[in-house]
Structure 1
Amino acid sequence: MADDQRARTLREAVARELPNVDFVLGYARGFDALHATPVTVRTEADAQKLIFDETCVQNLATSLYGLTDKRVGIVVKGCDSRSIVELLQEKLLDRSKLVVFGIPCDGVLDLAKIRVRADTSQVRAADMDGEELRLQTPEGEKRLPRSEVLADKCLRCRYPNPLVADHVIGPELTPAAAEDTYADLEGFEKLSARERFDFWKRQMSRCIRCYACRNACPLCVCKHVCLADSRDPHWLSAESTLQEKWLFQVMHALHLAGRCTECGECQRSCPMGIPLLLLKRKMNRELKDVFNYEAGVDLEAVPPLHTFQMEEEKISDRGLLW
């Protein structure tokens, strides 16, 4: 992608803050025009490598919990900033040790969609020209509509602007949607219970238990004591059975109930293409309906499963027999 004023402004802001932090987490160009890679910036020379465009798909907030002994700068998109808000809500981060460079974002690329639509694995150059993605490939130029290559989360994004930031790089953007209608869940919810179960059995049969979904999740902060790895107590075996795969994914989803910010890193990192975000969004919809809560959007809010009330507005337990 071509350089622009936004990237130059980011480099200048990061360079000014370097004396105040141990390092800054940002994005640099990857091995080709469609890939950005996380980079650790420690010097002004490192800062000149920084980029920000539609290829910056990773949620860098995933690294923060392991860096609580450092004062860290971090570059975040609007959706990524929700992960920081949630970590701050749970008191897993110290706000005074963070310098957040928030960048309004109008969408990132879904490389899986591009591979299917462009039918090529080699890209020499890429440029987002208005509503088109132009790719230079060995077979010649290919043009793909922007709406067909953006990540699904970007098409329904309501938080393109950072919700927490010390430096905002670029003008605010208009959300892609006024509200989340959960249209992606409609077809799934119309299926019978047996059909839904059969769907997940087919999906989970492809899981190789690599735990990329867990490792890429910014809210999975107990990776070093994960139930999937524990042998004392022994919650899960190392067997690659459908039952064990499904049990792990159910535990993962339940541990993220009321916490998942739908950054999509679990699904993006899955080498088998399992639609894991569908499971997380179903859980989020239930939390929204019952508790009227959305993760990572209000620093002052308390996640519903982190508190207790004698009576919930939408849960009536009066008169129940015990």
Structure 2
Amino acid sequence: MSIQRDIPLYQIFIHPLDLKELRSDIWCDDPVMAKLIIGKDQYNIDIAYRGAHIRKFKKKSYRVEFPRNDFGVKELHLNAEYMDKSLLRNKLSLDFFSSIGILSPKSRYVMLNINGKDQGVYLQLESVDRQFLKIRNLPSGAIYYAEDDDANFSLISPIDEDVKKAFDCGYSRKEGTDEDDRHLKDLIYKINTLPNGDFEKEIVKHIDIDKYLRWLSGVICTQNFDGFVHNYALYRRDDNGLFEIIPWDYDATWGRDINGKIMDYDYIPITGYNTLTARVLDVPSFRKHYRRLLENILNQQFTVGYLKEKILSMHELLRPYVLKDPYIKKDIDIFDEEPKLILAFIKDRNLYLKKHLSDLE
């Protein structure tokens, strides 16, 4: 895992009338024009609020678009990480997924200033889009964001506990065509209707099972409760037609829940949740592969020894900037205790999962 060495300043200037328009409706997704200055470089941007429940927080998160595509990307996200008093969990999670062989957005910390007013520490997140694939020299393909709990790989909605109106409920298409929508609907249909005897040989024609089980291992280790039904993107490669899953928004992890409350290390079982996971782990060969992958990760990447230096280094880097963050500097005592809590979670969660590897036999 690479460790960030400095935190750049992002200065955004928005015309007062545009800023008033932006603030008039926090639920509006329409961006306003602004200018971004980083050192000596200037960029024309469009900026809007992002997220769901997080829009209610005092410290807002933003979506930034580059109309001229002169920043090297078309879009990026600036996350306030307001409920995570450590500011570590999202980046730690995304880097962890990358270390276990899963496509994962790149991220880095920045200091944000809007119209001369300090907004504090933000996590800059790479958008999962066409540029995301291009940077990694990956084949083109459809990309879908799982936007709500309907993206649970089931035909039943957990929201109203009724049959979904469409197989692709819960998803929004970021890249792709109507034909790709058909493939997504076909995937959800087959996950739920393939007979047990046909599932093993048929599902591998639609999903990269190894990548899915690596992703599942990551969700299980970091203990992201919402990760099974949203907080992810789907990428369908054009070259082989297989879907892969990409993590997204992993702040409610490493021992805390979505509200920032302590989550016991044994809250999520080793078998996880959602319809697809249940069906995949019902196949002996897949379950054996999952055990082998998870056991390897528990011995190598998901350990205090592997993660401690990164956690402490990020904490040390962030601390002077946290003291300047108008929204979270009052919680500096909590911030200072978080590395200890995260490391204790890793130790306890690792032991718990190793103890339950036998459940996969």
Q: TM-score, normalised by structure 2?
A: 0.26
- Higher fraction of strand: 2
